[in-house]
Chains A and B, each alone.
Chain A
Amino acid sequence: MDKIVKLSTTLKKIFAFLMFLPFLLATGLWLCLTRFPELGLSKLSHIPIEIVHDTKVSLAFVGFSVFLPMFVVQTYWLWQLWQLFSHYSEGKIFTPENSVYVRRTAFAFLCITLLSILIDSLLTIILAVNNDIGYRLLFLTVGILQISNILTGLVLIVIAWIMDEAHRLQREIDTVI
């Protein structure tokens, strides 16, 4: 139990710090795109797009808006993890709230994976909208990373169901004197 509490306390602090990171990083990325285009584009290097004309502030704003659902889901995902490990750090392991947190974490993780596929495609359209005809691109990718993330999300859902069973067993044990 001690090692669970110790590691959970550390993880709780890490997730508390990380909760603000998606928003800060994405804001920084889109600011870079307008002020320092080469630096900004190097951060989007996984998207094979060539921006012919300069990026405008309005374009950066639209790109930032496209990223917004991802922030919300990522922050929610980190918040659920923070709540889960807060409970673990207090020694509360097999509680019904914990299985709810694990289930929400799993669904949020699946959402993040699906959103990342969608957002990359939308970004190629947004970044290339000012390009000349013939230099516009629609990019859609489902690779090993996305498939493994989806499988991880499904595994987490099964773990949440196992936590429900564990809570039921704990309740039975609590009434054995």
Chain B
Amino acid sequence: MAIITNLDVMLAKRKMSSQELAEGIGITVQNLSILKTGKARAIRFSTLESICKILQCQPGDILEYQPSSDDHHSHAKYKQY
């Protein structure tokens, strides 16, 4: 997945544990772990809003796009058009 989450970084900055964040959002620690490890296929806007509210940050602070090599090729093809 080319979208990665920087939740660990934000949690460290805010000195908050995963348990506290999970309780604040209203999800389980296991689900938060799925998000942190990049196994999530999608995130709801409501969840993203709750995370940003609790961590006092912007969505761009916790989500980052890192294209893989396959994405580089398709991106180059797209630019040709």
Residue positions of A touching B, CB distance < 8 A: 172, 175-177
Contacts and interface: CB of A to CB of B under 8 A. Distances in A.
Interface of B: 27, 31-32, 34-35, 39-44, 47
A65 B40 CA distance: 56
A176 B43 CA distance: 5
A177 to B, nearest CB: 5
B6 to A, nearest CB: 15
Contacts of B44: 176-177
A175 B38 CA distance: 10
Contacts of B27: 177
A177 B38 CA distance: 11
A175 B40 CA distance: 5
B54 to A, nearest CB: 14
B26 to A, nearest CB: 11
Contacts of B40: 175-177
Nearest to B41: A175
| 5 closest A-B pairs by CB | A175-B41, A176-B42, A177-B35, A177-B40, A177-B43
A53 to B, nearest CB: 72
Contacts of B35: 177
Nearest to A172: B41
